Structure 1
Amino acid sequence: MSLNFFDKLSQNFIELLNDGDDYNVIIEVENKESSFAAHSNVLKFRSSYFRRELENIQPNENNIKIIIKSNISAQIFNFILQYIYGGIVDLENFETRFIYNLMLAADEFELEELTNKLETLLTETKGSWLKTHFSFIYHFIFKRNDFKKLKNFCNDIIVKYPNLIFDSDDFTSLKESALISLIKRNDLQMEEVKIWDYVIKWGIAQTSILPTNLDDWTKENFLTLKTTLQQCLPHIRYFHLSGIEVLDKIKPYKRILDKQLWNDIDEHLIVPERPVKSTILPPRSVLVTELPTRSEKSFSAIISEEHAAEISTWIDRKTTAYALTNIPYKFELILRGTRDGFAPQTFWNICHGHACTVVLVKVKGTDGIVGGYNPLTWDKDTDGKWMETKDSFIFSLKNDDILSRVKTTRFAVLNRSKNDQIMGGPCFGDFWMYSDKSDFTLNDCGYCRSNGKFYEKPIRSSIYFPIINYEVFKIVRKTI
């Protein structure tokens, strides 16, 4: 029989970290503006990175070894030490950007267990944030050898919507490993000839010595491109191209292909039933479900299904985000500014009597979205009354997903007086809409308090902001 006492062990090691005695290592972080004391035996047995570092550093006159990590913030490194000593990582109320940065730091310090846990947390619960910052994340993670879950998460999106990367301005800066991971996929939803065009475009961009005009290319120029693309070329489905595509697109670059391959392509066009020596890859599969187009109507003009899943998760106080196929609520549109108008009184007339609602506001000129959830009933017939609840919250999406729950429950949500409804819309203590011109689209009619007075924390850095659209949804639990 085994008796485990890990909680006490973890507590004692945290006490050792906080004690400050008998340390023999100092780690300087944040451009040497902050430092942490630690113990070499703990560091080297918990991290192979620290083991190597400590072996190569000579102690000073006080027998202290100093490690400098200027690029790591003090807040991030404090979490790293808490994990190393006590196996504790408390991420409650931390923004997704912080979790992402913590994962990168954990990977840098070769803390595989922590890195994997954070990567799983991001891919399983922070999908909307990852998609919002897609291009930046995609280009960065392929510079590293790890993060297989994140790479698969991103590639699963790109194969359905390849324009996210292939049509981006920084496509040619894509890492070779990232490009290969995409073009080798059987389910990449792109015409083969276009894949060829993008591969050629990427290869040419990797060198500056190739002439602009293809007619001016020498044998050495073609050899240069062939060398650059040697890992990419085997993944093109040459034998599924039409004759015109081969003549117009492949033939001009035939000198970058192996002679046998080009001969087989040429022969296959004339006698397609005759066997060839080259490997014939299968055609790319076409998804049965049609990809959504820009013309298709969404349930919301402001948020996506991923955002709806995240808001539903917050409503139910879940730690793991709902999957898109398992959202327990329907978002029933009550009001849309571009459809119903932006007069404050319109909000009270339409939303009167509705409970369990989400207000969503699109910030003009940005991708920013702010909002609030009210579990109680909007009432236009009061003389101005604060409603008390512990279940309301405000939030921001797009720039970063910030959740801020009510902390002063008696000032959670305000039902404005009839006189105030002429200019004032929904109010969530630290976030509200107000227009002295009775039109939310005129001037900066959105307001978010810069410090958390009634809610846990601010959801925007700027206080006043312009509004381009807003929506109110009634949240209704689905029936089985």
Structure 2
Amino acid sequence: MYDNKFLPKLSQNLLEILDDDEFYDITIEVVILRYIYGGRLSLEEYDTSDIIKILIAADELSLYELIIHLQSFLIENKKDWMKQNFGLIYKTSFENDSFPNLQNFCIELMFNEPEKIFNTIDFTSLSENCLISLIQHDDFQMDVIQVWEHVLEWGIAQNPGLPSDPSNYSKDDFVTLKNSLQHLIPFIKFNNLTSKEYMDKVYPYKKIIPKDLRENLLRYFMDQQNNNPEPKTIVKKTDLKGFDSNIIAFQHFELISKWIDGLKITDKVKNSYEFQLILRGSRDGFSSLKFHEICDNQSHTVAIIKVQNSNEILGGYNPTIWNSDGGFSVAKNSFIFSFKNKENIEDYILSRINLVKYAIFSSPDYGLSFGCADLELYGNNRGLAEQSCYDMPIRDADDFLVEEYEIFQIIKID
């Protein structure tokens, strides 16, 4: 089954794993040895937590066939357990790239059943980025007050010394909690709360909310005449706001809005959006440093790029936040696009994300970066568009120079 060179190396790796207190377990030893030397494997008799340990050991030993089999077994037979232990599964699957099937399981659960994750027994062990992906998802269905309570629960769990009652908080306690939740609070739709919910549940934690937001919310809820207003019927408009662009026109903004909502060019506009200009290259600079200075921690952004000495327009939509951590971000609804000639709006290429976990790359060495160089800017005015993680290339040549570029933050208008 294995050649003579492989077995000594395998045996040594197995000994190293069994000497590691984190992984050593007689169950792992028995299962791995049975598989290696007998080709036999029966998992029904083992606890799911043991199977996870076996999976990690199989990865350490480079037993690729076993890795594939274990992932399939877990997904087919242990879905409920994995949902209840989502934090462990998420952490295990994304620690490296050896478990793509488990990664896809996590991504699908996050986007299709995000509310279930809040009810898992290890919810508070989720990473900040994972939690942000959950609460910012467009299709996320949960009352805002429940989202707020879960976010608070998560923040307090990250700091075990914090009291559960905010009336017992010291100034330092509020600072600690504020630091833990500073990247999450912008994604909570406080305006959808009732006045009573805000005053009872949010206001006691007012010191962790940024001052401008806190003052705006207080004015908003004080203006409400009824502490328990009837639900509003929202009539969707078809107009858009904010077109401070030196590159594209209203028609382009309208089409991008349709793409954000998953519509075709011939469909009617579904939602109204405001496009707020936050960066312009000719005004703010083209460096990667300036991009991250302005755009880090900003979500739902659209990039518009004019290729030098041409009418070609490139761009992309990032529903998640930009950052400088040097890693990839999951963004199910991200896309990139091009107009070969901006004067002909129908001559476009729309390329949606294919490998979701590689949708956005954030690094201080690059400006905006979609996928694995599917569309990225670097240096002062250089760009690259080489199809990899999105479903189709958006231009013929890979390299280009940037004449101008703009970043807009997208705000849905109710």
TM over 0.5, shorter chain: no
Q: TM-score, normalised by structure 1?
A: 0.36
Q: TM-score, normalised by structure 2?
A: 0.41
Kindly name which structure, 1 or 2, has the bigger radius of gyration based on alpha carbons. Answer: 1
